Each structure stands twice: as C-alpha cells, then as structure tokens.
Amino acid sequence: MRKSFLIAGAALLAIAASAAGWIASRPNTDAPPPASFAVLDADNNEVGRYVVPADKAILAQPNADEIIYGKRLLADTARLLPDNVGAAMNCNSCHLLDGKIDAANGYINTVNFYPRVMPRAGKEVDLEMRINGCFQRSMNGKPLDRDGREMKAMIAYMDWLRQGVAKDHRVDIVNAGAIDESLVPDPDKGKAIYALKCAACHGTDGQGMRDQFGDIIFPPLWGEESFNIGAGLARTYKAAQFVKWAMPPSMHLDGQLGQGGVLSDQEAIDVSEYFTHMPRPDFAPKVNDWPNGKKPNDARY
C-alpha cells in the first residue's frame, strides 16, 4: 500500500513538473502592461511621461459619445462610411491597434503635428485636409465634409488619445521606423517572401481577407479594392518601413500585435517592391503632387 502511494505521488510530481515545463516553454499570451513614453519639448528635453490610456477612460470624458463614435469610424471605416471609402480598407488597416502603438502609424501625436507644410502638397495642410487625403488615396474614395459629424468625431478620438500633451510637445514615438534606402529591391525575392509570410493573411492574389459577414479582416494589397497609386503605401521604401516595423503581426511571439521585427531591411524592401508595383487604381490628381520639387525616388509617377 505504501509502495503504491509513493509511486502515485511520484507520478503526480512528474506530471506537475512536465506541465510546468510546458507552460514555461509557451509564449506569454497575456497583454503587456500599458506602454509609457517620454514627452519631449521642442528641444527634445523630457518634460513628462505619457501612458497609453485604456478605452474605459473615455467614459469619463464629457464628449464620450463623440470619442467612441470616432473610434468606431476609424476601426470600421469601410462599413460605416461606404460613400467615402472605395477600397476594402479601414483607417486602422494602416494605423494598427487603434493608433496606440509605436512605429505603426499611431494617432498619439497626430493632433499636435498639424497644421504643417507637407512636401507632397507643397503647402500647409491642416488635420482635416490630411484625413481627407487618406480618404482619397489610401481609401481610394471621397473626402468627408470637413465640418461634419464624422470628421469631428475622428479628431475627437485622436485628441483624447494625446491625453493633453501640449501642442508644442510630442510623445517620443515615430509613425514608422527607419529603413535603409540604399538597399536595392529585388522583386523576385519579394514575390517569394510574400508567398511565405504575407499570403496567408492578404491572399495569394493580394485580395485580402474578409470574415463570414463580409467585413474586412486583412486589407487587399493590390487590385481594384486596394489603395490607389497616390497613397504613401504605394511607394516602395515608404511601404517597407511599415512592413519592417509592423508586419507580419502574427509571426512574432513576443510583444504586442503590430510590432513587426520579423523581416530584415532587405526582405522588407524586396516584398514591398513586389506588392507596390502590382496593379492598383490610378489617382488622377497625382499630377499636382510635389509642385515644389523634391519628389521622393520611390514615387511611382
């Protein structure tokens, strides 16, 4: 009896040890704690800390309904604004995780960045103009009423997300990380990389993926439902920055969604050269871009 008891006890310990080892070997799937970033003044001196807020904090705002509506519009743009979106894209297709993370086109500094002079427009652009630029290029659609409810709601969300950071300050994050633009793209290698690491989400023909209700899960990267040739993402090195630092989101085991770090600079440039040069809608007003010169080398027109 005593021998059986000892054997059973040893077996339980072995099972427990095995289970502990199995758990320890698995990636940590818990969400990381809220990220904290330095707040910098115009001379790059740290003047405070910024913590990415939780959505539940929106409810304490006097304009909570407007902020929540703006958040919904950014996340579900094509379904909620069908008259303004021509592509199978949402704003958050490029601005990952509701614009809350570094190096994936975050919204955290957006309100503070505008108005500003932009080389492509050759003039000062305010935030309403910038948002409508995305609707006309990345969304291949039509501009919103700049004084309408939808525009105000989107900006209300972005303004809430900056958490009162002063206009002449900025949170120490970037829209996109650096990429080595001296590297020469190889579209043939890019095609192979696309098949291996991108096609599972974006489709073998770049058509993207929808859920069973027809809503967009992963955006198309070329074809009539993709962004048009006037979008920033249609440029090889611009796209490579996003790919390098934010893609593919399902292939890394550490960190949060949309933090990239899977592909090398060369691989990101190769695959970006491949998909940016696939057929996509034209953008007739492109003839007005860069009126003062300084057109980037990877512009397609």
pLDDT grade for 103, boundaries at 50, 70 and 90? confident
Calculate mean pLDDT across residues 101-112.
Answer: 93
Element (H, E) at 148: none
For residues 251 and 266, the model is more confident at 266
Structural element, H or E, at residue 273: helix 265-276
**Which residues are CB-contacts of 201 (< 8 A; sequence separation ≥ 6)?**
209, 217, 218, 248, 250
- Whose tokens are 């809503």? That residue is 215
> Which amino acid, 141?
G
**pLDDT band, residue 31 (cuts 50/70/90):** low
Average confidence (pLDDT) over 198-222: 94
Whether the predicted pLDDT of 12 surpasses 90: no
Q: What is the average pLDDT value for the chain, to the nearest integer?
A: 89
User: In the beta sheet, which residues pair with residue 170?
Assistant: 40
- Whether the predicted pLDDT of 6 surpasses 50: no
**Same fold: 36-171 with 187-288:** yes
Q: Indicate if the pLDDT at residue 170 is higher than 90.
A: yes
- pLDDT bracket for residue 1 (50, 70, 90): very low
Q: What is the pLDDT of residue 259?
A: 64
Q: Is the pLDDT of residue 17 over 90?
A: no
Q: What is the pTM of this model?
A: 0.85
Q: Which CATH superfamily is domain 36-171 in?
A: Cytochrome c-like domain (1.10.760.10)
The whole-number pLDDT of residue 29 equals 57
- Provide mean pLDDT across the span 182-209: 96
Q: Which residue has the higher pLDDT, 56 or 103?
A: 56
pLDDT at 224: 96
Any residues with CB less than 8 A from the CB of 242 and at least 6 apart, and which? 94, 104, 105, 176, 233
Of the given ranges (66-70, 140-144, 196-200), which has the lowest mean pLDDT?
A: 196-200
CATH of 187-288, one of 3.60.15.10, 1.10.760.10, 3.30.1390.20, 3.40.640.10: 1.10.760.10
Query: Domain coordinates of the chain in residue numbers?
Result: 36-171, 187-288
Q: What is the pLDDT of residue 249?
A: 73
Distance of CA 110 to the CA centre of its chain: 13
- What is the pLDDT at residue 13? 46
- pLDDT for 89 equals 95
Average pLDDT over residues 80-85: 97
Which pLDDT band holds residue 294 (cuts at 50, 70, 90)?
A: confident
